[in-house]
Structure 1
Amino acid sequence: MAILDPTTTASDRPPPPPRDRCCAVREAATAELDAFEALDRAGVRAWQRDRLREQVAHARRHAPFYRHRLRALPPAAGEDPAQLPFTTKDDLRGGYPFGLLAVPLADVARYGESTGTTGAPTSSAITYQDWVRGNVSTARSLAHRFGPGDLVFVAIPYELSFAAYDLDRALETVGAAVVGTGILSAVCPVERTARMIAELRPAGIVCSPTRALRLHDLLRDAGHDPAALGVRTVLYVGETCSPAKLAKISRLWQAELVPAYGTTETNSLALSCALGRAHLTEDRHLFEVLDPDDATPLAAGRAGELVLSTLLAQAMPLLRYRTGDLVSVDPDPCPCGSVRATVRHHGRVGDRLHVAGRTLDRLDLEEAVLSVSGTGLYYAAGVVGEALHLRVECPDRPAHLVRREVADRVRARFGVTPEVGEVDRATVGRAMDAMLKPGNLTLADLDAAR
């Protein structure tokens, strides 16, 4: 399973027919995944150590960025990730567009870029083998829930992204029919997506959790009962949310909510098993969980920043890449039997709120707020001056009671007394329809939507 030499120039011999090439690469990737799943945890660690050493050599030899970054390291460096320097988002921006590319451009099968919403865009690239390796894993995950006769809406961005196409192709592989609506499209705005769901009655929807809420509201406002439309599974991507919010969405749709997690630079990083737990793609990445402030390793189960190193990437190897995502890895094996560890995504490091000398995890804050009886589906938080401000939806109980209980719950949980106001669902809807990532709803977004 060693990495093929990506600098080999194209042969004068004609390439194999596309169908033969596709089948051969997919069969090899499937065999690799089967072999990995047969390992025990000690075998996983040994396998990853060997692959990391190969990946470091590959990056050092062929990627301009790493040729410079790793020049002072001894030739044998690579078995221990702690020996390697970090790669950051700024490094990716500085290497835009091809500074981290480790293969000839002729070998690139797909090229993508980040949205650029938080700074200059970063680039990503994969070879055909990189693409199929990931897609085989995605198809295996989706096969737990979808098959022939199932219609599935893919309501996440297709533009410049790998994720939508990866899920699209994997759904085809397992026999499902795909409705590629995307999001924020002039051709298919969210209102049209809702109307199509009412007419086509899909078995599944791929979207963010907050988009699932918006679709529910639109369907309900149009006189439909979303729970009666036959949606069994909402595969949620692009954002994370608290157990309280997930439970509310599940009840509204009467559907199972299943996570998938990835980044622009790597595509999938965690895919769900039959039990709905997100398993890290440890066959393709080595993961570390570090303290986001001082980069020291954290004990299993503690939440910290996810740092990854690719193990098999041909086009764009990444070594100790600081994702900026907060995660916790479960130290116990999953009852499904997979050797791969399970992960919970807690949001972004940069989304933490700093108030009164305390650091608040947004997901923990969301859980505290939305678990209060009488809160609705939406809330927003922000720091104004030195104070924490919250706005909550209060559809089922008197707002003054809900607001007081939210303030009490947050004070008890975090030692911070918030200012709690109310927000109506119409304002939230207007704000969300203008956002690529509606899960990142802020006070400023609500103010702009008034």
Structure 2
Amino acid sequence: MLFNIKQETLPREELEALQLRRLQNVCNRVYATVPFYRKRFDTLGITPADIRSLEDLRLLPFTEKQDLRDNYPYALFAVPRDNIVRLHASSGTTGKAVVVGYTARDLENWAELTARGMAAAGVTRHDVVHVAYGYGLFTGGLGAHGGAERLGATVVPASGGATKRQAYLMRDFGATVLCCTPSYALHLWEAGMAEGIDFLDLPLRVGCFGAEPWTESMRQDMEAKMGIDALNIYGLSEVMGPGVAMECVEEKKGLHLWEDHFLPEIVNPQNGEPLPEGEEGELVITTLTKEGIPLIRYRTHDLTSLDYTPCRCGRTHVRITRLAGRCDDMLIIRGVNVFPQQIEALLMACHELTPNYQIIVDREDNLDTLEVCVEMGEELLADEIRKLQALESGLRKSIKEFLGVTARVRLLQPHSIVRSEGKAQRIIDRRPKR
């Protein structure tokens, strides 16, 4: 089912003409209203008037996540703060967040695009959509919620946690669509089975899963256990939450990226040079319609490729292939982006600890776990056990507050972590490769 037939089936020539008009418009807007971009343009010796074709996109500067942190909280906004009706944010290295502002029109577009994606997954106004993404500053819950409401479906805003209760709600409310991370979907299934709730007996038929990497074998596992079509949804806090791209149920081979709102590129992660169609590299996105915080050539650090071959669903928008990984050291823990340097900053704020630490990621009961091991300084060895326990508890609390993830913290004896002659091994990822 197509939600917006005209826009989703635009011929390539019309789509590219629309992209160029919108690209020129966004360049004019950021040059006039965002000092950061005006300075970047001036440094490169270009003006918005130099953008005469889509090929000229490569003349424009890149934008990095650090640029958003450096301009915290509002310096990248292209409209007055009074025009911003909602703020979302992701965690920062020292508590300074990446802040994204939405105007009323931005929220309308977000709901429209997420509704497109859900429609591509086969969701209709007759469905009961159980949203188990987190609500709040994280974009997942409210993003999926807005799209389902735009479709006219019945929304159950369950958010995360209380897993056993959620399994009962899915049964009692007759959920037909589940929106959450793929790992949490499996956790919900296990919780249901433990309570005698077999998802195969439910009317559940569609899963819209994203916010963390998952594989084709994981899809097949979920589809067999739950009796659903499991589909990949893509978004990112800086650009837009869920709603940037979505798989269609007809093909399940790549995610349609809504090109009337986002202009995608694939570049070489090392030098930023554009790569030819079909070649894998880093996905770069320029927002074409965002009012609150438009972004020019935003480097997502996600590795994928672009597929322009026609899709039998009828949508003409390019597909991005299943993400192959990251070209930076970001970890995705239960849908939350976590950088090792964020944890390091919290650890190093405690002067009783040494700079020697390891981050261990594992998977238990289909959910990602995070353990932080750090060596104590010599002066801590003489402290009472209760003081050490209090320190561990404080670090756990800090990680939860600043990063939004729960972590185990272990204080180790000095020299417990094996030293390396080369680059220190900070991250140990034990999650099974499916």
The residue correspondences of 1:243-322 to structure 2 (distance < 5 A) are 243-267=216-240, 268-275=243-250, 276=252, 277-322=254-299
Q: 1:62 matched to which residue of 2? A: 33
- Deviates further, 203-212 or 189-198: 189-198
**Residue identity opposite 2:97 in structure 1:** P
Q: 2:16 matched to which residue of 1? A: 45
CA contact (8 A) 2:363 2:430 kept: no
CA contact (8 A) 1:236 1:257 kept: yes
CA contact (8 A) 1:305 1:322 kept: yes
The residue correspondences of 1:86-105 to structure 2 (distance < 5 A) are 86-105=62-81
RMSD of Structure 2 on Structure 1 (CA): 3.0
Give per-residue Cα distances to partners, 1:13-55, cap 9 Å, x unaligned: xxxxxxxxxxxxxxxxx9xx65544532233223212221111
**Residue identity opposite 1:431 in structure 2:** T
Displacement of 1:81 = 1.2
Which of the residues 155, 158, 162 maps onto 2:135? Answer: 158
Query: Is 1:347 paired with 2:350?
Result: no
1: CA distance between counterparts of 2:19 and 2:368?
Answer: 47
**Residue identity opposite 2:244 in structure 1:** L
2: CA distance between counterparts of 1:43 and 1:429?
Answer: 44
2: CA distance between counterparts of 1:130 and 1:34?
Answer: 21
Partner SS, residue 149 of structure 2: helix
Partner SS, residue 283 of structure 1: coil
Displacement of 1:125 = 1.0
The residue correspondences of 1:99-178 to structure 2 (distance < 5 A) are 99-116=75-92, 120-144=96-120, 145-178=122-155
Give per-residue Cα distances to partners, 1:98-126, cap 9 Å, x unaligned: 11101011111221101347974201012
The residue correspondences of 1:149-228 to structure 2 (distance < 5 A) are 149-184=126-161, 189-228=162-201
Give per-residue Cα distances to partners, 1:139-170, cap 9 Å, x unaligned: 23323523344221101111113342232122
CA contact (8 A) 2:183 2:368 kept: no
2: CA distance between counterparts of 1:118 and 1:350?
Answer: 19
Displacement of 1:250 = 1.1
1: CA distance between counterparts of 2:363 and 2:209?
Answer: 24
- Deviates further, 72-81 or 152-161: 72-81
The structure with the largest strand share of the pair is 2
CA contact (8 A) 1:282 1:340 kept: yes
Displacement of 1:291 = 1.6
- Deviates further, 132-141 or 109-118: 109-118
1: CA distance between counterparts of 2:153 and 2:222?
Answer: 24
Query: Is 1:234 paired with 2:207?
Result: yes
CA contact (8 A) 1:239 1:437 kept: no
TM-score for the superposition, normalised by structure 2: 0.71
2: CA distance between counterparts of 1:107 and 1:57?
Answer: 19
- 1:313–1:172 CA distance, 2 compared to 1 (3 A): closer
CA contact (8 A) 2:229 2:249 kept: no
Note the residue ranges of structure 2 that are not aligned, 5 or more in a row.
333-361, 372-399, 407-426
CA contact (8 A) 1:289 1:306 kept: yes
CA contact (8 A) 1:64 1:101 kept: no
Identity of matched residues, %: 30
2: CA distance between counterparts of 1:226 and 1:43?
Answer: 44
Displacement of 1:302 = 2.3
**Residue identity opposite 2:46 in structure 1:** P
The residue correspondences of 1:349-428 to structure 2 (distance < 5 A) are 349-350=327-328, 425=364
Query: Is 1:431 paired with 2:369?
Result: yes
Displacement of 1:424 = 8.9
Displacement of 1:324 = 1.2
1: CA distance between counterparts of 2:368 and 2:289?
Answer: 43
- 1:269–1:430 CA distance, 2 compared to 1 (3 A): closer
Runs of 4+ in 1 over 3 A off after TM superposition: 33-39, 115-120, 423-426, 428-438, 442-446
CA contact (8 A) 2:136 2:142 kept: no
- Aligned length, in residue pairs: 339
1: CA distance between counterparts of 2:202 and 2:94?
Answer: 37
2: CA distance between counterparts of 1:38 and 1:199?
Answer: 38
1: CA distance between counterparts of 2:124 and 2:297?
Answer: 37
Q: 1:418 matched to which residue of 2? A: none
Displacement of 1:351 = 5.0
1: CA distance between counterparts of 2:75 and 2:173?
Answer: 45
1: CA distance between counterparts of 2:218 and 2:368?
Answer: 20
Give per-residue Cα distances to partners, 1:215-266, cap 9 Å, x unaligned: 1111112223222122101110211311111111111111101121011012
- Deviates further, 249-258 or 221-230: 221-230
1: CA distance between counterparts of 2:404 and 2:85?
Answer: 26
1: CA distance between counterparts of 2:280 and 2:95?
Answer: 26
CA contact (8 A) 1:239 1:347 kept: no
**Residue identity opposite 1:170 in structure 2:** G
Give per-residue Cα distances to partners, 1:327-347, cap 9 Å, x unaligned: 222231211121201112233
- 1:113–1:352 CA distance, 2 compared to 1 (3 A): closer
- 1:67–1:425 CA distance, 2 compared to 1 (3 A): closer
2: CA distance between counterparts of 1:443 and 1:229?
Answer: 38
TM-score for the superposition, normalised by structure 1: 0.68
